[in-house]
Amino acid sequence: MTIGAKTTYLDYNASAPLRPQARTVLLEALECEGNASSIHAFGRKASGVIEAARKDIAALVDALPANVAFTSGGTEANVTALSPIWLRNGQPFTLSKLFVSAVEHPSVLAGGRFSAEQVEQLPVDANGLLNLEILREKLGALPEGETALVAVMAANSETGVLQPLQEIGVIVEDAGHLLHVDAVQAAGRIALSQPMIASHSMAVSSHKIGGPQGVGALIMGKGDLRPAPLLTGGGQESWRRAGTHNTAGIAAFAAAARAALAEIPSLETQALRDQLEQELRLEQPDLVVFGADAPRLPGTTCLTVPGVVAETALIAFDLAGIAVSSGSACSSGKVGASHVLLAMGCEEDLARGALRISMGWNTSADEMQKFKREFLRIAARLQKKDRARAAS
Is the Cβ–Cβ distance between 289 and 301 less than 8 Å?
yes
- Whole-angstrom Cα distance, residue 288 to residue 258? 35
- Whole-angstrom Cα distance, residue 102 to residue 85? 23
Nearest to 100 by CA among 57, 163, 15: 163
Considering the candidates 32, 302, 330, 346, report the single residue annotated as catalytic: 330
Residue 271 exposed, middle or buried by CB count within 10 Å (0-12, 13-18, 19+): middle
Residue 266 exposed, middle or buried by CB count within 10 Å (0-12, 13-18, 19+): exposed
- Whole-angstrom Cα distance, residue 121 to residue 70? 28
- Whole-angstrom Cα distance, residue 15 to residue 107? 16
Based on C-alpha coordinates, what's the Rg of the chain? 22
Is the Cβ–Cβ distance between 330 and 105 less than 8 Å?
yes
What is the rounded end-to-end Cα distance, in angstroms, of the chain? 42
List, in sequence order, every beta strand (DSSP E) within 139-298: 148-153, 178-182, 201-205, 216-220, 225-227, 288-289
- Whole-angstrom Cα distance, residue 346 to residue 127? 10
Is the Cβ–Cβ distance between 326 and 355 less than 8 Å?
yes
Mutual angle of helices 41-59 and 247-263, in 10-degree steps = 30
Is the Cβ–Cβ distance between 354 and 327 less than 8 Å?
yes
Residue 384 exposed, middle or buried by CB count within 10 Å (0-12, 13-18, 19+): exposed
Q: Is-catalytic flag, 330?
A: yes
DSSP 392: -
The catalytic residues are 330
